[in-house]
Structures are given as structure tokens and as C-alpha cells.
Structure 1
């Protein structure tokens, strides 16, 4: 479902956001700094459930891409869906850490893999699933 109630977002700024998600997942998996999951959860939930335009990191990355004329505007719906997934995964990672459970490595590994694919190729698996769901639902 296309979101016309929210201004379009910059897809290249979201690639920078994927880089941040990748870095957070790597820190979570390979260092003792598990608290970084709260950053992923907060950012993902803010961008996914409120608006990407309210997020400081998105504003920064949108400014950078605009300065270098890399801005490519797309509909916000699919990216907000991806942010909801990232926010929920970050929340699961954070809760897992607080409860001293190792289950948080599962969402962290998924974020690590899919964020790397997005930042390296520009292919957003959650965005693809979002579009496929609505195409299948319409048929």
C-alpha cells in the first residue's frame, strides 16, 4: 500500500540507514556492547511507526545525499515497513540482552545479513516482501 500521507523518502539515505543497522548488528554480535540494540529499536520504531522525517539520523543522511545530489525520492510505505521490522528485531535483541538470553543473536544475524545486502546492492528484502504482499493481496 502506497503511503501518500507521508512525504516521499530518499532511498539513498536509507542505504546509509542500512549501514547503521549493519554496524549496530555487528556490534551486538561481536562485542560486549549489547545495549546498542536499543538504538536500533528506537530508530526503527520511530521511523516505522511515527515518520522517517522525525528521525535525526534520517534527516542527517537525507541532508548528506541532497548535498551531493544523490537524492532519489520514493514512496515511504515500503521503507516504513522495513523500519517496523528492524525496530521489532532491535526490541527483541534488547529484551534478550536484558533477560540474559542468547536468542537475540537470531534477529541480530538477520539484520546483519539483510542490511548488508541493502547497503551493498540497494535491494531491500522487506521492501520487496511489502510489495509482493500487496500484489498478491490485490490478485
Structure 2
């Protein structure tokens, strides 16, 4: 379902943010899991309030558009859904870490895989699911 109530997002900015998610997950695995709190916050703001409300997205959008690297504009609805998934997965990982379980590495590893697909191959699995859902169950008019 296209979201016309929120601004569209730049493709290369989204891919850069996926790279940052990828890098932060590796930092979580090999340095400190406390960086998962950053992913929880970013997923929450971008997923539930929109990318245009996220300070880091605003910064990267300014940098990329100033340099001419922004790419093409895309619908933000699917990307917001992807960030809701990021919020859920990183929240689960962070909660498991705080509880002392080593299972926090499972959702973190999944985030590494899916964020790699987005930044390296421009394939957003959550966006694909989002589109498939709305093709199968279109909203009532």
C-alpha cells in the first residue's frame, strides 16, 4: 500500500542506512551488544513515525543529496514496514542480551543477513513481503 501521507525516501540513503545496520550488528557481535540500543531507537522512530523524523536519516539525506548521491525516490511505506521489523528484531536481541541469554546472537545474525541483502544487492526482504501482502490482500476502498 503506497503511503502518500509521508515523504518518499531516497534509495541510496536507505541503502547506506542498511550498511550502518549491517556494521552495527557486527559491532554488537564482536565488540559490545550495547549498540543494539541504537538499532532499537532507529527502528522505532523510522518504523512508527517515518524516516523524516529520524535525525540520522535527516543527516544522511542532507549529505547524499548535497553530493548528488541520493539515487531515486521510493515509497516510504515498505521501508517503514522494514524498520518495524528492525525494531522488533533488535528489541528481541537487546532484551535477550539484557536477560543474559546468548540467544541474542540469532536475531542479530538475521539482521546481518537481511541488511546485507539491502545494502549490497538492493533487495529488501521486508519490502518484498510488504508488497506481496498488499497484492494478496488489497485494502478495502
The residue that corresponds to 1:38 in the other structure is: 37
The residue that corresponds to 1:83 in the other structure is: 83
The residue that corresponds to 2:99 in the other structure is: 99
1:2 CA drift (Å): 1.0
| Rounded Cα–Cα distance in structure 1 between residues aligned with 2:106 and 2:2 | 30
CA deviation vs aligned residue, 1:2-42 (integer Å, no higher than 9, x gap) = 111111111211111101110111111122x1111100000
| Rounded Cα–Cα distance in structure 1 between residues aligned with 2:83 and 2:132 | 17
Task: Structure 1: state its 5+ residue gaps.
Answer: none
| Rounded Cα–Cα distance in structure 2 between residues aligned with 1:60 and 1:123 | 23
The residue that corresponds to 2:68 in the other structure is: 69
CA deviation vs aligned residue, 1:82-128 (integer Å, no higher than 9, x gap) = 00000111111111111001121111011001111111111111111
Task: Structure 2: state its 5+ residue gaps.
Answer: none
1:70 CA drift (Å): 2.5
Q: Figure out how many residues of one structure are paired with residues of the other and give that number.
A: 138
TM-score normalised per structure 2:
0.93
TM-score normalised per structure 1:
0.94
| Rounded Cα–Cα distance in structure 2 between residues aligned with 1:39 and 1:15 | 17
1:43-62 mapped onto 2 (5 Å cutoff)? 43-62=42-61
RMSD: 1.3
The residue that corresponds to 2:128 in the other structure is: 128
